[in-house]
Homo-oligomer: A and B are copies of this chain.
Amino acid sequence: MNSANLFLSIPDQLPNELVDLLADNGQVRIERIASRGHASPPGFWYDQQEHEFVLLLQGQAELELLGPQERLSLQAGDYLLIPAHRKHRVVWTSDEIDCIWLAVFYHDRE
């Protein structure tokens, strides 16, 4: 049985964002991501070939998106759907409370 708790197994030291792969069948990839004050480098934008459904489970964060330009402040329970190639970056994540994200990446039907 592939099961666990997404709030557990965050290391004491987190020099980089932690990405745990929960499921991947070549079509869909599900990740648990833990951030602690991490942000995208200045000028860096994600530009992904996959759609991304992303849900903040714990903590607080701010995202910036282009096309159109938007800034979103996220609390626990907030989700958004980022279409493929919509550029986005992480402006800020909380460090007093770890940010725990669930991200689902998927393609369109071929």
Given A6-B79, A23-B81, A81-B23, answer yes or no on A106-B28 (Cβ-Cβ < 8 Å).
yes
Residue A51 CB within 8 A of the other chain: yes
Query: Closest CB-CB distance, A84 to chain B, in whole Å?
Result: 11
Tell me how many chains of this kind the complex includes: 2
Count of chain A residues near B, Cβ 8 A: 35
Given A22-B79, A109-B25, A109-B27, answer yes or no on A102-B5 (Cβ-Cβ < 8 Å).
no
By beta carbon, the residue of chain B nearest A100 is B77
Contact between B81 and A26, CB atoms less than 8 A apart: no
Contact between B7 and A81, CB atoms less than 8 A apart: no
Cα distance, A108 to B25, chains bound together (Å): 6
Contact between A104 and B107, CB atoms less than 8 A apart: no
Cα distance, A54 to B79, chains bound together (Å): 16
Residue A55 CB within 8 A of the other chain: yes
Give me 26 A-to-B residue pairs in the complex whose CB atoms sit less than 8 angstroms apart, sorted by A's number: A1-B65, A1-B80, A2-B80, A2-B81, A3-B72, A5-B75, A5-B77, A5-B78, A5-B79, A6-B55, A22-B79, A23-B51, A23-B53, A23-B81, A25-B51, A25-B108, A25-B109, A26-B109, A27-B27, A27-B108, A27-B109, A28-B28, A28-B104, A28-B106, A55-B102, A106-B106
